[in-house]
């Protein structure tokens, strides 16, 4: 994920922030002259890249996608749209609202389409200093412009330390949706989504960029759909349709923003994904709402030709994924959501890689796979537990995945939460609060279950574990 690791992690890595780690973030490795230096650079690059991807994952899992301005617009509570009243998991009602372009309304006058969110957290890593701070302040602009046009955008300010905030444009999803019509005697709806994050348009909210659940990985070992390499640094449009209220299809394309545009929007240019061409996105899903239960089966594909340096050779990257979702809704006293996502990426490398060891040339083809199985249970939409098991694997490549040649990483998330508001019969149903405690734990990293960098200082997967307390306020 393209988010800054917690300050405690930064302190732990401060001595290791070298040019090698910065180069790896851009998809290249810097050659070193001494064997020890090579091992140190590889170790540093792997750990730095991992933490840039996975360090904030525990915090991200506590952040809301529920937008109070939507509740004010529709007259519905946060619990009507979200499992656990706070998100990001959607109920069938929330899925329909998203498919309808965020345009549903209670018809009771015009509502101000502005919401805010504050996130405070205390992070306690196994290795490094604990930190407590106001982590993030967000501004949401979300609502309907007409019966056919709606959407939302998020402006995020991250506390980067010393009471300074980095502000940037986060997710954007603007939609045009047709009025329902009949096709072959079946209800049909067609819409257009303009967004800046592949997969965020998913109505089931099971794909990684919508669910915020993505496997941690060693450097560039995540799939495009699982990592946030493209998130908020691209712009794209897709056409989607819903047929017979069950069959969902979507096709679209994306282009990378220029480095100057990314910089103006608040994103550091060293995270530029490069130039993208021939980029296509497709999604097909069958969704069945049985009132008390819901299930879906989905397929997803993303293909692009990427020039990491915007000139010269390019990499061909193709993602194929499938997903399964089941929800038990019952009377809403007990709500259970289960999901499984499996994404496979095929890679054909054209861009050069300068290995840290010249005796181990990089392969020109490879593959990676991300898998996530998750469970979200909520009692009375107030007390809940979220658990996820995440697996990242890749094909052997001694040059890209030092020191053992495989990037395999296995991690787990356990999150307990309490959401006192956002429901009928509570103090307020159109604003919300969530208090959560989460544990992010590694079983394997960098292909190993111990001494993951094969040298001093000894680093085991458990050294990367983290425990976080968070308070989220949405209003």
pLDDT digits over 133-183, tens only?
Answer: 999 999 999 999 999 999 999 999 999 888 789 999 999 999 999 999 999
Domain annotation covers residue 142: yes
pLDDT of residue 57: 56
CA 377 to CA 364: how far, in whole Å?
44
Domain annotation covers residue 1: no
Domain annotation covers residue 311: yes
Whole-structure pTM value: 0.88
pLDDT of residue 37: 41
From residue 411, how far is each of 4, 20, 58, 388 by CA, in Å? 19, 26, 11, 8
- Is residue 203 within 8 A of residue 248, CB to CB? The reply is yes
CA 63 to CA 48: how far, in whole Å?
23
H helical segments located in 244-380: 259-264
Angle (nearest 5°) at CA 410 between 209 and 87: 35
From residue 14, how far is each of 7, 17, 126 by CA, in Å? 10, 6, 17
Domain annotation covers residue 50: yes
pLDDT of residue 357: 73
178 DSSP assignment: P
Our CA dihedral for 438, 439, 445, 449, rounded to 10 degrees, sits at -160
| Number of domains forming the structure of the chain | 1
CA 120 to CA 47: how far, in whole Å?
26
Q: Average per-residue pLDDT in the chain?
A: 87
Query: What is the per-residue pLDDT across 261-288, written as a single tens digit (0 to 9) for each?
Result: 999 999 999 999 999 999 999 999 999 9
Domain annotation covers residue 48: yes
The closest alpha carbon to 65, from 110, 119, 145, 103, belongs to: 119
For residue 111 the two structure tokens come to 């509502």
Low-confidence ranges of the chain (pLDDT < 70): 1-65, 355
pLDDT of residue 99: 98
Domain annotation covers residue 213: yes
Domain annotation covers residue 405: yes
pLDDT of residue 287: 99
For residue 164 the two structure tokens come to 């300074």
Domain annotation covers residue 2: no
pLDDT of residue 90: 96
pLDDT of residue 186: 95
- Residue range(s) defining the domain that contains residue 465: 7-474
CATH number at residue 131: 2.40.160.10
pLDDT of residue 18: 30
pLDDT of residue 61: 54
């Amino acid at each position: 994920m393209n988010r800054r690791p917690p300050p405690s992690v930064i302190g732990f890595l401060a001595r290791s922030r070298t040019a090698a780690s910065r180069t790896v973030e851009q998809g290249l490795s810097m050659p070193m002259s001494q064997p020890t230096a090579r091992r140190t650079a590889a170790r540093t690059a792997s750990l730095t890249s991992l933490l840039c991807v996975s360090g904030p994952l525990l915090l991200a899992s506590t952040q809301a996608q529920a937008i109070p301005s939507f509740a004010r617009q529709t007259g519905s509570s946060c619990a009507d749209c979200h499992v656990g009243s706070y998100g990001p998991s959607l109920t069938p009602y929330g899925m329909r609202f998203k498919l309808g372009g965020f345009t549903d309304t209670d018809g009771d006058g015009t509502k101000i389409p502005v919401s805010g969110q504050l996130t405070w957290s205390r992070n306690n890593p196994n290795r490094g200093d604990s930190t407590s701070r106001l982590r993030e302040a967000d501004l949401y602009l979300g609502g309907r412009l007409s019966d056919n046009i709606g959407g939302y955008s998020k402006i995020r300010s991250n506390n980067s330390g010393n009471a300074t905030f980095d502000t940037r444009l986060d997710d954007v999803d603007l939609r045009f949706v047709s009025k329902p019509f009949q096709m072959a005697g079946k209800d049909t709806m067609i819409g257009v989504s303009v967004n800046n994050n592949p997969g965020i348009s998913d109505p089931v909210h099971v794909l990684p960029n919508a669910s915020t659940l993505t496997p941690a990985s060693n450097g560039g070992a995540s799939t495009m759909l699982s990592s946030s390499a493209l998130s908020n640094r691209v712009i794209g449009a897709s056409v989607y349709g819903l047929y017979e209220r069950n069959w969902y299809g979507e096709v679209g394309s994306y282009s990378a923003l220029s480095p100057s545009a990314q910089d103006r929007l608040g994103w550091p240019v060293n995270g530029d994904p490069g130039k993208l061409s021939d980029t296509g996105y497709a999604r097909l899903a069958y969704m069945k709402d049985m009132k008390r239960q819901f299930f879906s089966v989905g397929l997803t594909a993303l293909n692009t030709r990427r020039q990491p340096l915007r000139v010269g050779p390019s990499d061909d990257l193709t993602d194929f994924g499938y997903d399964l979702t089941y929800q038990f809704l019952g009377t809403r006293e007990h709500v259970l959501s289960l999901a499984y996502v499996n994404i496979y990426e095929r890679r054909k490398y054209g861009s050069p890689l300068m290995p840290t060891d010249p005796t181990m040339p990089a392969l020109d083809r490879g593959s990676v796979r991300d898998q996530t199985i998750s469970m979200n249970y909520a009692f009375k939409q107030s007390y809940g537990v979220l658990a996820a098991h995440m697996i990242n694997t890749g094909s052997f490549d001694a040059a890209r995945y030092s020191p053992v040649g495989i990037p395999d990483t296995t991690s787990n998330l356990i999150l307990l939460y309490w959401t006192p508001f956002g429901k009928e019969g509570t103090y307020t149903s159109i604003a919300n609060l969530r208090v959560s405690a989460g544990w992010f734990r590694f079983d394997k990293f960098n292909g190993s279950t111990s001494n993951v960098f094969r040298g001093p200082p000894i680093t085991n997967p458990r050294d990367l574990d983290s425990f976080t307390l968070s308070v989220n306020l949405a209003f």
